[in-house]
Every structure is written in structure tokens, then in C-alpha cells.
Copies of this chain bind each other. A is one copy, B any other.
């Protein structure tokens, strides 16, 4: 019989600490984005998932709080997008379901514009600034759909006080998507 108490575990691949400098200070949007892009590229080269990486930083100190890489296939979990993993792990680290609060605001950097699920998750996470690299068209070029995201979706988040900056290091971010295609990585939601 199925044991209803078996838990879902959201784990990172084992190479993360080889790629990420947890002691770094990532002062600019570009520096934050490079962490996300490096994670995406490593995820592709090490064949642990789709070509997407994300990282969350303290807004005030520019310190890295959490990271995520696409882990859908590795974990058999369609929710395990890079942004979702970074959000869940950041909240576990700060011990709160919200990353918003006095003197502890957070910034999310993601190597590609978030899909509909992740954009919703950004809203609920309480992050106050989101930067993304590659765009919808870059992802679609390798057949990754982002789902029901509309211009109004971004406007909705902005109306809730979230700053959004897209296209940061876009060419570098898009190059990771192209690398994934070249290496023949699976498009699991085609």
C-alpha cells in the first residue's frame, strides 16, 4: 500500500558548492545574474536538468541566500523549476514564508523569464526585485513554453511593489539555452 506519509524532498544536485561562492558579495544586477547563468550552464554541462538557474540575495548586503537549478527530470517533479527551488530554500533559510520584511528584503535573479507558475511564486515569495536574463522568445526557440504569462502579469507584480528588470546579460543567458539544444537535452514539456 502507498504510504501517504512519504515526503517530497526538494534537493539540489551535489555539485552546487563547486560552482557557487557562498561568501561572495554580488553588488550589481549583473553580478547577481552571472550567478544564475553559471548555475544554468553547470546544470546543462553536468546533465542534471534543464538550462535554467536562479539565485536569491539579500537586498541590503548583496549576499547570496539560496540557489536553484531546474530539477524537473532529476526529481520527477514538474514544480522543481530553478526559481521555485531558490524560493523554497531561501524561505527555509530565513525561517519564514515571506522574504519581505524590515531590513531583510530580497532580490531574485533568474537566467530566463519566469514561467506562469514561477511568476506567481515570485509574487507570493515577497521578493522585492526580480531580474531575468533570457526572454520568452529565447526559451521558445528551444521549445520551452512559459505558459499563460501576459504583459498584464508583469504589470500585476509591479503594481504590488515588485521591481522587475528583464534582459540582464541576455546574450550570455540565451547562450546557455543554445548550449542545451546543441547537447540534445530533453524538452520535457513540449
Are the CB atoms of A95 and B76 closer together than 8 Å? yes
Q: Which residues of B contact A165 (CB under 8 A)?
A: none
Residues of B within 8 A of A169 (CB): none
Q: Which of B78, B123, B126, B156 contacts A121 (CB 8 A)?
A: B78
Please give me the residue from chain B that is nearest to A125 by CB atom.
B78
Residue contact B12 to A9, C-beta cutoff 8 Å: no
Inter-subunit contact B73/A97 (CB<8 Å): yes
Q: What's the tally of chain A residues with a CB closer than 8 Å to chain B?
A: 57
Given A22-B2, A22-B4, A148-B156, check contact A124 B93 (CB 8 Å).
no
Q: How far is the CB of A109 from chain B (nearest CB, A)?
A: 17
- Indicate how many identical chains form the complex: 2
Cβ of A177 within 8 Å of any chain B Cβ, yes or no, is: no
Interface centre among A1, A91, A95, A188, by most chain B C-beta atoms within 10 angstroms, is: A91
A11: interface (CB < 8 Å): yes
Known: A97-B73, A120-B120. A88 touches B150 (CB 8 A): no
* Partner-B contacts on A (CB < 8 A): 1-2, 4-12, 16-17, 20, 22, 66-67, 72-73, 75-80, 84-85, 87-89, 91-93, 95-98, 115-121, 123-126, 147-148, 150, 152-153, 156-157, 188-189
Told that A76-B96, A78-B97, A78-B124 touch, could you supply 8 new A-B pairs with CB distance under 8 A?
A76-B97, A78-B91, A80-B97, A115-B120, A117-B117, A117-B120, A120-B148, A147-B156
